[in-house]
Structure 1
Amino acid sequence: MIKFVAALAVVGLAVTAPAMAQAQAKSKAAAAYKAPRGPDGKHPDLNGVWQVMNSAGWDIEPHAARAALQLRPGPFVPVPAKSVLALGAVGAVPAGLGIVEGGEIPYTADAKKQRDANRANYTDLNSGDPEVKCYLPGVPRANYMHLPFQIFQSEKSMIIAYEYAGAVRNILFTDPGPAPVDSWMGQSVAKWEGDSLVVTVSGMNDRTWFDRAGNFHSDQMTVVERWTPTGPTTIRYEATITDPNTFTKPWKMSFNLYKRQGEDARLNQFKCVEFVEELMYGDLRKEPLK
Protein backbone atom coordinates (compact mmCIF):
# COMPACT_ATOMS: atom_id res chain seq x y z
CA MET A 1 0.00 0.00 0.00
CA ILE A 2 2.82 2.37 0.91
CA LYS A 3 4.55 1.60 -2.38
CA PHE A 4 1.29 2.30 -4.27
CA VAL A 5 0.80 5.68 -2.58
CA ALA A 6 4.43 6.57 -3.25
CA ALA A 7 3.98 5.64 -6.90
CA LEU A 8 0.92 7.88 -7.15
CA ALA A 9 2.89 10.75 -5.61
CA VAL A 10 5.63 10.29 -8.18
CA VAL A 11 3.09 10.28 -11.02
CA GLY A 12 1.47 13.41 -9.60
CA LEU A 13 4.81 15.19 -9.47
CA ALA A 14 5.57 14.11 -13.01
CA VAL A 15 2.29 15.62 -14.21
CA THR A 16 2.30 18.84 -12.19
CA ALA A 17 5.98 19.70 -12.37
CA PRO A 18 5.96 20.59 -16.11
CA ALA A 19 2.79 22.65 -15.66
CA MET A 20 4.31 24.51 -12.71
CA ALA A 21 7.53 25.06 -14.60
CA GLN A 22 5.58 26.39 -17.59
CA ALA A 23 3.58 28.75 -15.38
CA GLN A 24 6.75 30.02 -13.72
CA ALA A 25 8.36 30.56 -17.11
CA LYS A 26 5.34 32.56 -18.29
CA SER A 27 5.41 34.63 -15.09
CA LYS A 28 9.09 35.45 -15.58
CA ALA A 29 8.51 36.31 -19.23
CA ALA A 30 5.64 38.64 -18.26
CA ALA A 31 7.79 40.32 -15.61
CA ALA A 32 10.58 40.84 -18.14
CA TYR A 33 8.27 42.20 -20.86
CA LYS A 34 8.89 45.81 -21.82
CA ALA A 35 5.81 47.31 -23.46
CA PRO A 36 6.11 49.83 -26.32
CA ARG A 37 6.02 53.40 -25.07
CA GLY A 38 2.86 55.45 -25.39
CA PRO A 39 2.32 58.94 -26.81
CA ASP A 40 4.27 60.57 -23.97
CA GLY A 41 7.31 58.41 -24.71
CA LYS A 42 7.63 57.39 -21.05
CA HIS A 43 4.84 54.99 -20.15
CA PRO A 44 3.36 51.86 -21.77
CA ASP A 45 1.00 52.24 -24.70
CA LEU A 46 -2.39 50.92 -23.55
CA ASN A 47 -4.29 52.11 -26.62
CA GLY A 48 -6.58 49.54 -28.21
CA VAL A 49 -9.74 47.50 -27.87
CA TRP A 50 -9.62 45.02 -24.99
CA GLN A 51 -11.82 42.18 -23.82
CA VAL A 52 -11.83 39.33 -21.31
CA MET A 53 -12.06 35.63 -22.10
CA ASN A 54 -13.75 34.47 -18.90
CA SER A 55 -17.25 34.10 -17.47
CA ALA A 56 -16.85 36.54 -14.57
CA GLY A 57 -19.71 38.65 -15.89
CA TRP A 58 -22.04 35.86 -14.79
CA ASP A 59 -20.31 35.10 -11.48
CA ILE A 60 -16.94 36.32 -10.22
CA GLU A 61 -16.57 33.35 -7.83
CA PRO A 62 -15.77 29.80 -9.06
CA HIS A 63 -18.97 28.19 -10.34
CA ALA A 64 -20.28 25.25 -12.33
CA ALA A 65 -22.47 25.62 -15.40
CA ARG A 66 -26.08 26.12 -14.36
CA ALA A 67 -29.44 27.28 -15.62
CA ALA A 68 -30.12 30.99 -15.39
CA LEU A 69 -33.35 32.36 -13.99
CA GLN A 70 -36.10 32.89 -16.52
CA LEU A 71 -37.28 36.33 -17.55
CA ARG A 72 -41.02 36.34 -18.06
CA PRO A 73 -43.93 38.80 -17.94
CA GLY A 74 -45.59 39.44 -14.62
CA PRO A 75 -43.89 39.04 -11.23
CA PHE A 76 -40.15 38.62 -11.57
CA VAL A 77 -39.47 35.52 -9.52
CA PRO A 78 -36.90 32.72 -9.83
CA VAL A 79 -37.98 29.45 -11.36
CA PRO A 80 -36.52 25.95 -10.95
CA ALA A 81 -33.78 24.99 -13.38
CA LYS A 82 -36.02 22.36 -15.03
CA SER A 83 -38.57 25.09 -15.83
CA VAL A 84 -36.23 27.12 -18.02
CA LEU A 85 -37.17 25.03 -21.04
CA ALA A 86 -38.33 28.07 -22.97
CA LEU A 87 -34.80 29.47 -22.93
CA GLY A 88 -32.99 26.21 -23.64
CA ALA A 89 -29.21 26.37 -23.84
CA VAL A 90 -29.19 30.16 -24.23
CA GLY A 91 -30.48 30.38 -20.66
CA ALA A 92 -27.39 28.67 -19.27
CA VAL A 93 -24.62 30.22 -17.20
CA PRO A 94 -21.19 29.03 -18.43
CA ALA A 95 -18.84 27.52 -15.86
CA GLY A 96 -15.91 29.57 -14.62
CA LEU A 97 -12.82 29.31 -12.45
CA GLY A 98 -13.61 32.70 -10.95
CA ILE A 99 -11.48 35.82 -10.70
CA VAL A 100 -11.59 36.27 -6.90
CA GLU A 101 -8.21 35.47 -5.39
CA GLY A 102 -8.77 32.79 -2.75
CA GLY A 103 -12.03 31.82 -4.44
CA GLU A 104 -14.53 33.30 -1.97
CA ILE A 105 -15.57 36.88 -1.26
CA PRO A 106 -15.19 37.70 2.48
CA TYR A 107 -18.71 38.94 3.16
CA THR A 108 -19.94 39.88 6.60
CA ALA A 109 -22.71 37.56 7.83
CA ASP A 110 -25.48 40.08 7.07
CA ALA A 111 -24.03 40.98 3.69
CA LYS A 112 -23.87 37.34 2.66
CA LYS A 113 -27.58 36.97 3.43
CA GLN A 114 -28.23 39.98 1.21
CA ARG A 115 -26.09 38.46 -1.56
CA ASP A 116 -28.14 35.27 -1.39
CA ALA A 117 -31.38 37.28 -1.60
CA ASN A 118 -29.98 39.19 -4.58
CA ARG A 119 -29.07 35.95 -6.29
CA ALA A 120 -32.54 34.48 -5.79
CA ASN A 121 -34.26 37.56 -7.22
CA TYR A 122 -31.81 39.04 -9.67
CA THR A 123 -34.47 39.71 -12.33
CA ASP A 124 -36.67 41.68 -9.93
CA LEU A 125 -37.14 45.18 -11.31
CA ASN A 126 -37.00 46.82 -7.89
CA SER A 127 -34.20 44.97 -6.12
CA GLY A 128 -32.51 42.93 -8.86
CA ASP A 129 -29.42 43.25 -11.04
CA PRO A 130 -29.06 46.78 -12.49
CA GLU A 131 -27.82 45.22 -15.75
CA VAL A 132 -31.36 43.93 -16.42
CA LYS A 133 -32.46 47.57 -16.64
CA CYS A 134 -29.45 48.72 -18.70
CA TYR A 135 -28.01 50.78 -15.86
CA LEU A 136 -24.30 51.53 -16.00
CA PRO A 137 -22.18 48.62 -14.71
CA GLY A 138 -19.76 50.44 -12.41
CA VAL A 139 -16.14 49.55 -11.67
CA PRO A 140 -14.71 46.93 -11.77
CA ARG A 141 -17.65 45.13 -13.44
CA ALA A 142 -17.38 47.14 -16.66
CA ASN A 143 -13.95 45.61 -17.31
CA TYR A 144 -15.04 41.96 -17.40
CA MET A 145 -18.45 42.06 -19.03
CA HIS A 146 -18.92 40.09 -22.25
CA LEU A 147 -18.56 43.23 -24.39
CA PRO A 148 -15.24 44.94 -25.23
CA PHE A 149 -13.98 48.39 -24.28
CA GLN A 150 -11.45 50.78 -25.80
CA ILE A 151 -8.65 52.72 -24.13
CA PHE A 152 -7.81 56.10 -25.67
CA GLN A 153 -4.43 57.30 -24.40
CA SER A 154 -2.84 60.57 -25.46
CA GLU A 155 0.21 62.42 -24.20
CA LYS A 156 -1.70 64.07 -21.35
CA SER A 157 -5.04 62.31 -20.96
CA MET A 158 -6.83 58.97 -21.04
CA ILE A 159 -10.43 57.80 -21.32
CA ILE A 160 -11.98 54.34 -21.39
CA ALA A 161 -15.07 53.83 -23.57
CA TYR A 162 -17.21 50.74 -23.02
CA GLU A 163 -19.45 49.16 -25.61
CA TYR A 164 -22.04 48.34 -22.95
CA ALA A 165 -24.53 51.21 -22.72
CA GLY A 166 -21.94 53.68 -24.05
CA ALA A 167 -20.32 53.95 -20.61
CA VAL A 168 -17.22 56.18 -20.36
CA ARG A 169 -14.54 56.76 -17.73
CA ASN A 170 -12.30 59.81 -17.66
CA ILE A 171 -8.95 58.82 -16.10
CA LEU A 172 -7.62 61.79 -14.13
CA PHE A 173 -3.89 62.22 -13.47
CA THR A 174 -4.40 65.22 -11.17
CA ASP A 175 -6.37 64.46 -8.02
CA PRO A 176 -9.29 66.92 -7.77
CA GLY A 177 -10.12 65.81 -4.23
CA PRO A 178 -13.16 63.80 -3.10
CA ALA A 179 -15.82 63.15 -5.73
CA PRO A 180 -18.50 65.89 -5.47
CA VAL A 181 -21.28 63.30 -5.84
CA ASP A 182 -21.57 59.52 -6.00
CA SER A 183 -22.11 58.14 -9.50
CA TRP A 184 -22.45 54.86 -11.36
CA MET A 185 -18.87 54.83 -12.68
CA GLY A 186 -17.24 56.77 -9.86
CA GLN A 187 -14.19 59.03 -10.01
CA SER A 188 -10.94 57.55 -11.34
CA VAL A 189 -7.61 59.09 -10.29
CA ALA A 190 -4.47 57.50 -11.76
CA LYS A 191 -0.71 57.40 -11.39
CA TRP A 192 2.07 55.32 -12.91
CA GLU A 193 4.10 52.90 -10.82
CA GLY A 194 6.76 51.67 -13.21
CA ASP A 195 4.89 50.10 -16.12
CA SER A 196 1.68 49.64 -14.12
CA LEU A 197 -1.16 52.11 -14.33
CA VAL A 198 -2.66 52.37 -10.83
CA VAL A 199 -6.18 53.83 -10.67
CA THR A 200 -8.06 54.60 -7.46
CA VAL A 201 -11.81 54.63 -8.03
CA SER A 202 -14.08 56.22 -5.42
CA GLY A 203 -17.39 58.05 -5.25
CA MET A 204 -19.47 55.13 -6.55
CA ASN A 205 -23.09 54.65 -5.59
CA ASP A 206 -24.37 51.42 -4.04
CA ARG A 207 -26.62 50.45 -6.95
CA THR A 208 -24.11 48.50 -9.06
CA TRP A 209 -23.34 44.80 -8.65
CA PHE A 210 -20.19 42.82 -9.39
CA ASP A 211 -21.98 40.22 -11.57
CA ARG A 212 -25.29 38.50 -12.31
CA ALA A 213 -24.92 36.27 -9.25
CA GLY A 214 -25.98 38.92 -6.75
CA ASN A 215 -22.51 39.94 -5.52
CA PHE A 216 -22.76 43.55 -4.37
CA HIS A 217 -21.17 46.39 -2.37
CA SER A 218 -22.08 49.55 -0.50
CA ASP A 219 -21.42 53.20 -1.33
CA GLN A 220 -18.31 53.01 0.88
CA MET A 221 -16.44 50.86 -1.64
CA THR A 222 -13.05 51.92 -2.97
CA VAL A 223 -11.37 50.09 -5.84
CA VAL A 224 -7.64 50.25 -6.58
CA GLU A 225 -6.91 48.94 -10.08
CA ARG A 226 -3.56 47.89 -11.54
CA TRP A 227 -3.22 47.66 -15.33
CA THR A 228 0.08 45.98 -16.26
CA PRO A 229 1.06 45.01 -19.84
CA THR A 230 2.43 41.45 -19.83
CA GLY A 231 2.78 40.90 -23.58
CA PRO A 232 2.06 42.56 -26.95
CA THR A 233 -1.64 41.68 -26.70
CA THR A 234 -2.24 41.10 -22.97
CA ILE A 235 -2.80 43.22 -19.87
CA ARG A 236 -2.89 41.79 -16.37
CA TYR A 237 -5.74 43.47 -14.52
CA GLU A 238 -5.91 43.48 -10.73
CA ALA A 239 -8.41 45.22 -8.47
CA THR A 240 -8.34 45.45 -4.68
CA ILE A 241 -11.79 45.99 -3.17
CA THR A 242 -12.20 47.73 0.17
CA ASP A 243 -15.66 48.15 1.72
CA PRO A 244 -15.90 47.74 5.52
CA ASN A 245 -19.70 47.96 5.36
CA THR A 246 -19.92 44.78 3.27
CA PHE A 247 -16.69 42.78 3.63
CA THR A 248 -14.67 41.61 6.62
CA LYS A 249 -11.41 42.57 4.91
CA PRO A 250 -10.10 43.90 1.58
CA TRP A 251 -10.04 41.33 -1.21
CA LYS A 252 -8.63 41.12 -4.69
CA MET A 253 -9.64 39.99 -8.16
CA SER A 254 -7.31 39.42 -11.10
CA PHE A 255 -7.55 38.28 -14.72
CA ASN A 256 -6.13 38.84 -18.20
CA LEU A 257 -7.38 41.29 -20.81
CA TYR A 258 -6.76 40.52 -24.48
CA LYS A 259 -6.29 42.98 -27.30
CA ARG A 260 -8.65 42.62 -30.26
CA GLN A 261 -6.95 42.47 -33.65
CA GLY A 262 -7.71 43.40 -37.27
CA GLU A 263 -11.15 44.54 -38.40
CA ASP A 264 -12.51 43.16 -35.12
CA ALA A 265 -10.68 45.85 -33.15
CA ARG A 266 -13.57 48.26 -32.84
CA LEU A 267 -16.54 48.97 -30.63
CA ASN A 268 -20.01 48.31 -31.94
CA GLN A 269 -23.11 50.07 -30.66
CA PHE A 270 -24.98 48.56 -27.73
CA LYS A 271 -27.49 51.15 -26.59
CA CYS A 272 -29.49 48.77 -24.45
CA VAL A 273 -32.07 51.27 -23.20
CA GLU A 274 -34.36 50.49 -26.13
CA PHE A 275 -34.32 46.81 -25.17
CA VAL A 276 -35.70 47.42 -21.68
CA GLU A 277 -38.35 50.07 -22.30
CA GLU A 278 -41.13 47.51 -22.61
CA LEU A 279 -39.82 45.58 -19.63
CA MET A 280 -39.81 48.62 -17.37
CA TYR A 281 -42.68 50.71 -18.71
CA GLY A 282 -44.85 48.34 -20.73
CA ASP A 283 -47.49 48.21 -18.02
CA LEU A 284 -48.10 51.94 -18.54
CA ARG A 285 -49.43 51.39 -22.07
CA LYS A 286 -53.08 52.23 -22.52
CA GLU A 287 -53.36 49.01 -24.47
CA PRO A 288 -50.68 46.58 -23.24
CA LEU A 289 -48.97 44.39 -25.83
CA LYS A 290 -50.20 40.82 -26.04
Structure 2
Amino acid sequence: MKRLTILAATAAAFVMTGASAPVMAQGSEAADTIDGHPNLNGIWQAVNQANWNLEPHSAGPNPVADGLVGAIGAIPPGLGVVEGGEIPYKPEALERLKKNKENMISHDPEAACYLPGIPRATYMPYPFQIIQGGGDDILMVYEYANANRVIHMGPVGVPPIDTWMGTSYGEWDGDTLVVTTLALSPGDVKLPGGELEPGVTWLDRAGNYLTNTASVVEKFTLNGENHIDYEATIDDPSVYTRPWKIKMPLYRRVEENAQLLEFRCVPFSEHLLYGDLLEGESGSEAAE
Protein backbone atom coordinates (compact mmCIF):
# COMPACT_ATOMS: atom_id res chain seq x y z
CA MET A 1 0.00 0.00 0.00
CA LYS A 2 2.84 2.37 0.83
CA ARG A 3 4.47 1.70 -2.55
CA LEU A 4 1.14 2.30 -4.33
CA THR A 5 0.73 5.63 -2.57
CA ILE A 6 4.22 6.75 -3.61
CA LEU A 7 3.65 5.76 -7.26
CA ALA A 8 0.26 7.46 -7.40
CA ALA A 9 1.73 10.61 -5.90
CA THR A 10 4.55 10.56 -8.48
CA ALA A 11 2.07 10.29 -11.34
CA ALA A 12 -0.04 13.06 -9.86
CA ALA A 13 3.02 15.29 -9.62
CA PHE A 14 3.78 14.78 -13.34
CA VAL A 15 0.18 15.58 -14.24
CA MET A 16 -0.27 18.64 -12.04
CA THR A 17 3.11 20.29 -12.61
CA GLY A 18 3.70 19.20 -16.18
CA ALA A 19 7.27 18.46 -15.14
CA SER A 20 9.44 16.46 -17.47
CA ALA A 21 9.78 12.94 -16.14
CA PRO A 22 13.35 12.19 -15.10
CA VAL A 23 15.31 9.54 -16.93
CA MET A 24 15.61 6.52 -14.67
CA ALA A 25 18.17 3.76 -15.18
CA GLN A 26 18.78 4.59 -18.84
CA GLY A 27 21.43 2.90 -20.94
CA SER A 28 24.44 0.99 -19.71
CA GLU A 29 24.37 2.46 -16.19
CA ALA A 30 21.15 0.62 -15.37
CA ALA A 31 21.19 -2.35 -13.03
CA ASP A 32 20.41 -5.59 -14.85
CA THR A 33 17.75 -6.68 -12.36
CA ILE A 34 15.54 -5.28 -9.62
CA ASP A 35 14.54 -7.73 -6.88
CA GLY A 36 15.60 -10.53 -9.23
CA HIS A 37 13.42 -9.33 -12.14
CA PRO A 38 14.55 -7.67 -15.40
CA ASN A 39 14.98 -3.92 -15.09
CA LEU A 40 12.46 -2.26 -17.43
CA ASN A 41 13.17 1.27 -16.20
CA GLY A 42 13.52 3.81 -18.97
CA ILE A 43 11.75 5.80 -21.66
CA TRP A 44 10.33 3.67 -24.45
CA GLN A 45 8.53 4.24 -27.72
CA ALA A 46 6.88 2.22 -30.47
CA VAL A 47 8.05 3.09 -33.99
CA ASN A 48 5.30 1.96 -36.35
CA GLN A 49 1.93 2.98 -37.80
CA ALA A 50 -0.23 1.02 -35.34
CA ASN A 51 -1.95 4.15 -34.02
CA TRP A 52 -3.21 4.84 -37.53
CA ASN A 53 -4.49 1.29 -38.02
CA LEU A 54 -3.58 -1.96 -36.29
CA GLU A 55 -4.35 -3.90 -39.45
CA PRO A 56 -2.30 -3.74 -42.68
CA HIS A 57 -3.24 -0.61 -44.62
CA SER A 58 -2.22 1.50 -47.59
CA ALA A 59 -1.26 5.16 -47.52
CA GLY A 60 -4.18 7.57 -47.63
CA PRO A 61 -4.98 11.28 -47.78
CA ASN A 62 -5.39 13.56 -44.81
CA PRO A 63 -8.78 12.50 -43.39
CA VAL A 64 -9.74 16.08 -42.48
CA ALA A 65 -8.48 18.16 -45.40
CA ASP A 66 -8.31 15.75 -48.33
CA GLY A 67 -6.29 17.42 -51.07
CA LEU A 68 -6.22 20.85 -49.42
CA VAL A 69 -2.88 20.54 -47.62
CA GLY A 70 -1.05 18.18 -49.95
CA ALA A 71 0.79 15.36 -48.22
CA ILE A 72 0.72 17.03 -44.79
CA GLY A 73 -1.19 14.80 -42.38
CA ALA A 74 -1.51 11.98 -44.91
CA ILE A 75 -1.97 8.47 -43.50
CA PRO A 76 1.30 6.50 -43.72
CA PRO A 77 1.13 2.88 -44.92
CA GLY A 78 1.65 0.10 -42.40
CA LEU A 79 2.31 -3.64 -42.46
CA GLY A 80 0.02 -4.12 -39.47
CA VAL A 81 0.71 -5.57 -36.04
CA VAL A 82 -2.26 -7.96 -35.73
CA GLU A 83 -1.27 -11.62 -35.64
CA GLY A 84 -2.95 -13.14 -38.69
CA GLY A 85 -3.56 -9.68 -40.18
CA GLU A 86 -7.26 -9.21 -39.35
CA ILE A 87 -9.26 -8.39 -36.22
CA PRO A 88 -11.99 -11.07 -35.82
CA TYR A 89 -15.11 -8.91 -35.37
CA LYS A 90 -18.52 -10.44 -34.89
CA PRO A 91 -20.91 -9.50 -37.73
CA GLU A 92 -23.06 -7.41 -35.37
CA ALA A 93 -19.99 -5.45 -34.19
CA LEU A 94 -19.15 -4.28 -37.71
CA GLU A 95 -21.95 -1.68 -37.59
CA ARG A 96 -20.19 0.24 -34.82
CA LEU A 97 -16.87 -0.14 -36.64
CA LYS A 98 -18.44 1.31 -39.80
CA LYS A 99 -19.82 4.23 -37.79
CA ASN A 100 -16.42 4.85 -36.27
CA LYS A 101 -14.73 4.87 -39.68
CA GLU A 102 -17.30 7.29 -41.08
CA ASN A 103 -16.71 9.66 -38.15
CA MET A 104 -12.97 9.19 -37.84
CA ILE A 105 -12.22 12.65 -36.45
CA SER A 106 -15.32 13.70 -34.54
CA HIS A 107 -15.67 10.35 -32.72
CA ASP A 108 -12.01 9.42 -32.10
CA PRO A 109 -11.22 9.97 -28.39
CA GLU A 110 -7.67 11.00 -29.37
CA ALA A 111 -9.04 13.99 -31.30
CA ALA A 112 -10.89 15.12 -28.18
CA CYS A 113 -7.80 14.61 -25.97
CA TYR A 114 -9.47 11.88 -23.91
CA LEU A 115 -7.21 9.31 -22.25
CA PRO A 116 -6.21 6.62 -24.77
CA GLY A 117 -6.82 3.43 -22.80
CA ILE A 118 -4.86 0.20 -23.06
CA PRO A 119 -3.18 -1.01 -25.23
CA ARG A 120 -3.37 2.15 -27.40
CA ALA A 121 -1.34 4.25 -24.95
CA THR A 122 1.66 2.01 -25.65
CA TYR A 123 1.91 2.58 -29.42
CA MET A 124 0.75 6.17 -29.83
CA PRO A 125 3.48 8.30 -31.46
CA TYR A 126 4.75 9.57 -28.12
CA PRO A 127 7.25 8.12 -25.62
CA PHE A 128 6.27 6.69 -22.26
CA GLN A 129 8.23 5.90 -19.13
CA ILE A 130 8.34 2.75 -17.02
CA ILE A 131 9.19 3.40 -13.37
CA GLN A 132 10.06 0.16 -11.62
CA GLY A 133 11.55 0.16 -8.14
CA GLY A 134 11.75 -2.34 -5.35
CA GLY A 135 8.39 -3.15 -3.83
CA ASP A 136 5.00 -4.09 -5.10
CA ASP A 137 3.87 -1.83 -7.94
CA ILE A 138 5.11 -0.42 -11.26
CA LEU A 139 4.18 2.96 -12.71
CA MET A 140 3.81 3.76 -16.42
CA VAL A 141 3.62 7.43 -17.39
CA TYR A 142 2.67 8.51 -20.92
CA GLU A 143 3.57 11.77 -22.65
CA TYR A 144 0.17 11.96 -24.37
CA ALA A 145 -2.32 13.91 -22.23
CA ASN A 146 -0.34 13.22 -19.02
CA ALA A 147 -1.88 9.74 -18.94
CA ASN A 148 -0.55 7.25 -16.40
CA ARG A 149 -1.40 3.94 -14.77
CA VAL A 150 -0.25 1.93 -11.78
CA ILE A 151 0.42 -1.78 -12.36
CA HIS A 152 -0.82 -3.46 -9.18
CA MET A 153 1.57 -6.38 -8.73
CA GLY A 154 -0.52 -9.25 -7.42
CA PRO A 155 -3.53 -11.41 -8.26
CA VAL A 156 -6.09 -10.12 -10.74
CA GLY A 157 -8.95 -8.57 -8.81
CA VAL A 158 -12.36 -7.04 -9.48
CA PRO A 159 -11.98 -3.36 -10.45
CA PRO A 160 -14.26 -1.05 -8.45
CA ILE A 161 -15.24 1.07 -11.47
CA ASP A 162 -14.77 1.39 -15.23
CA THR A 163 -12.26 4.07 -16.25
CA TRP A 164 -10.55 5.32 -19.41
CA MET A 165 -7.27 3.56 -18.53
CA GLY A 166 -8.86 0.57 -16.79
CA THR A 167 -7.31 -1.20 -13.80
CA SER A 168 -4.07 -3.11 -14.37
CA TYR A 169 -2.74 -6.12 -12.44
CA GLY A 170 0.77 -7.47 -12.97
CA GLU A 171 2.85 -10.56 -12.31
CA TRP A 172 6.22 -11.90 -13.42
CA ASP A 173 6.25 -15.02 -15.57
CA GLY A 174 9.95 -15.80 -15.57
CA ASP A 175 11.56 -12.74 -17.18
CA THR A 176 8.30 -11.45 -18.68
CA LEU A 177 6.09 -8.82 -17.05
CA VAL A 178 2.47 -9.90 -17.65
CA VAL A 179 -0.17 -7.19 -17.15
CA THR A 180 -3.92 -7.83 -17.20
CA THR A 181 -6.12 -4.76 -17.66
CA LEU A 182 -9.87 -4.80 -17.04
CA ALA A 183 -12.76 -2.31 -16.81
CA LEU A 184 -11.74 -0.16 -19.78
CA SER A 185 -14.56 2.24 -20.51
CA PRO A 186 -15.12 5.99 -20.68
CA GLY A 187 -18.87 5.68 -19.96
CA ASP A 188 -21.12 7.84 -22.10
CA VAL A 189 -19.17 10.26 -24.26
CA LYS A 190 -20.43 13.68 -25.35
CA LEU A 191 -19.77 14.05 -29.04
CA PRO A 192 -19.37 17.36 -30.87
CA GLY A 193 -22.83 18.84 -31.14
CA GLY A 194 -23.89 17.51 -27.72
CA GLU A 195 -24.91 13.96 -28.73
CA LEU A 196 -24.28 11.29 -26.08
CA GLU A 197 -22.95 7.91 -27.16
CA PRO A 198 -22.02 4.80 -25.14
CA GLY A 199 -18.26 5.06 -24.91
CA VAL A 200 -15.90 2.46 -26.34
CA THR A 201 -12.12 2.38 -26.25
CA TRP A 202 -10.68 3.12 -29.67
CA LEU A 203 -7.60 1.06 -30.51
CA ASP A 204 -6.43 3.25 -33.40
CA ARG A 205 -7.49 6.12 -35.65
CA ALA A 206 -9.20 3.68 -38.03
CA GLY A 207 -11.94 3.07 -35.46
CA ASN A 208 -11.05 -0.43 -34.25
CA TYR A 209 -12.41 -0.74 -30.73
CA LEU A 210 -13.16 -2.73 -27.60
CA THR A 211 -15.83 -2.37 -24.90
CA ASN A 212 -15.90 -2.54 -21.11
CA THR A 213 -16.30 -6.33 -21.25
CA ALA A 214 -12.79 -6.69 -22.68
CA SER A 215 -9.68 -8.03 -21.02
CA VAL A 216 -6.25 -6.98 -22.30
CA VAL A 217 -3.24 -9.13 -21.36
CA GLU A 218 0.09 -7.46 -22.16
CA LYS A 219 3.55 -9.02 -22.06
CA PHE A 220 6.75 -6.99 -21.73
CA THR A 221 9.92 -9.04 -22.35
CA LEU A 222 13.30 -7.31 -22.31
CA ASN A 223 15.27 -8.29 -25.42
CA GLY A 224 18.78 -6.95 -25.01
CA GLU A 225 19.55 -3.59 -23.48
CA ASN A 226 17.39 -1.30 -25.62
CA HIS A 227 14.42 -3.36 -26.84
CA ILE A 228 11.27 -4.78 -25.30
CA ASP A 229 9.25 -7.44 -27.12
CA TYR A 230 5.68 -6.29 -26.55
CA GLU A 231 2.49 -8.18 -27.19
CA ALA A 232 -1.12 -7.75 -26.13
CA THR A 233 -3.91 -10.32 -26.33
CA ILE A 234 -7.39 -8.78 -26.48
CA ASP A 235 -10.52 -10.73 -25.61
CA ASP A 236 -13.99 -9.18 -25.75
CA PRO A 237 -16.82 -11.68 -26.26
CA SER A 238 -19.27 -8.88 -27.03
CA VAL A 239 -17.25 -7.74 -30.07
CA TYR A 240 -14.91 -10.51 -31.31
CA THR A 241 -15.35 -14.14 -32.31
CA ARG A 242 -12.13 -15.11 -30.48
CA PRO A 243 -9.18 -13.54 -28.64
CA TRP A 244 -6.57 -11.91 -30.91
CA LYS A 245 -3.05 -10.59 -30.49
CA ILE A 246 -0.85 -7.68 -31.51
CA LYS A 247 2.98 -7.78 -31.41
CA MET A 248 5.66 -5.12 -31.83
CA PRO A 249 9.06 -4.06 -30.50
CA LEU A 250 9.43 -1.09 -28.17
CA TYR A 251 12.64 0.93 -28.43
CA ARG A 252 14.51 2.64 -25.63
CA ARG A 253 15.11 6.35 -26.14
CA VAL A 254 18.87 6.45 -25.75
CA GLU A 255 19.67 10.11 -26.39
CA GLU A 256 21.47 11.74 -23.47
CA ASN A 257 18.64 14.12 -22.59
CA ALA A 258 15.75 11.68 -23.13
CA GLN A 259 12.73 12.75 -21.10
CA LEU A 260 8.98 13.10 -21.27
CA LEU A 261 7.85 16.56 -22.31
CA GLU A 262 4.46 18.20 -21.92
CA PHE A 263 1.72 17.31 -24.38
CA ARG A 264 -1.36 18.84 -22.84
CA CYS A 265 -3.73 18.55 -25.75
CA VAL A 266 -6.92 19.93 -24.17
CA PRO A 267 -6.45 23.43 -25.64
CA PHE A 268 -6.09 21.86 -29.09
CA SER A 269 -9.47 20.15 -28.74
CA GLU A 270 -11.61 23.02 -27.48
CA HIS A 271 -12.94 24.05 -30.87
CA LEU A 272 -13.78 20.46 -31.81
CA LEU A 273 -15.66 19.86 -28.57
CA TYR A 274 -17.16 23.26 -27.84
CA GLY A 275 -17.03 25.03 -31.19
CA ASP A 276 -20.78 25.63 -31.25
CA LEU A 277 -20.64 27.22 -27.80
CA LEU A 278 -17.58 29.30 -28.63
CA GLU A 279 -19.16 30.58 -31.83
CA GLY A 280 -22.33 31.41 -29.92
CA GLU A 281 -20.28 33.33 -27.38
CA SER A 282 -18.51 35.23 -30.13
CA GLY A 283 -21.84 36.12 -31.72
CA SER A 284 -23.24 37.35 -28.42
CA GLU A 285 -20.24 39.57 -27.84
CA ALA A 286 -20.53 41.00 -31.33
CA ALA A 287 -24.22 41.74 -30.75
CA GLU A 288 -23.39 43.61 -27.58
TM-score, normalised by the number of residues in structure 1: 0.79
Counterpart in the other structure of 2:111:
132
| Residue 33 of structure 2 is aligned to residue 38 of structure 1 | yes
The superposition leaves residues 122-173 of structure 1 with CA deviations (integer Å, 9 ceiling, x where unpaired) of: 122xxx1111100000000000000010000100131000000000010111
* Residue of structure 2 equivalent to 1:24: none
Q: Which residue of 1 aligns with 2:142?
A: 162
Deviating more after overlay: 256-265 vs 183-192: 256-265
Unaligned runs of 5+ in 2: 1-29, 186-198
Other structure's SS at 1:247 match: coil
**Contact 1:130 1:207 (C-alpha < 8 Å) held by counterparts:** no
| Map of 1:207 onto structure 2 | 200
Q: 1:150 aligns with which of 129, 136, 157?
A: 129
1:56 aligns with 2:66: no
Task: After superposition, give the CA deviation of every residue in 1:94-130 in whole Å (9 maximum; x if it has no partner).
Answer: 0101110000000001112321221111122xxx111
**Does the CA-based 8 Å contact 2:116-2:201 persist in structure 1?**
yes
The one-letter amino acid of 1:252's match is K
Structure 1 gaps, min length 5: 1-34, 72-83
Q: Percent identity?
A: 47
CA contact (8 A) 2:61 2:67 kept: no
SS of the residue 1:274 aligns to: helix
Q: Deviations over 1:220-272 (max 9, x none)?
A: 00001100011110000011100000000000000000000123521010000
The number of residues matched between the two structures is 240
CA contact 1:170–1:188 (8 Å) conserved in 2: yes
* Shift in Å, 1:39: 3.0
Corresponding position of 2:21: none
1:181 aligns with 2:161: yes
Asked which structure has the greater CA Rg, the reply is 1
The 8 Å contact of residues 48 and 265 in structure 1, kept in 2 or not, is answered as no
Q: Distance in 2 between matches of 1:263 and 1:36?
A: 18
CA contact 2:46–2:250 (8 Å) conserved in 1:
yes
Contact 2:117–2:165 (Cα < 8 Å) also in 1? yes
Q: Which amino acid letter does the alignment assign opposite residue 273 of structure 2?
A: M
Partner Cα distance (1:281, 1:261) in 2:
40
Q: Deviations over 1:187-220 (max 9, x none)?
A: 1100001100000100111532000001011110
RMSD: 1.8
TM-score (norm 2): 0.80
Determine helix, strand or coil for the equivalent of 1:92: coil
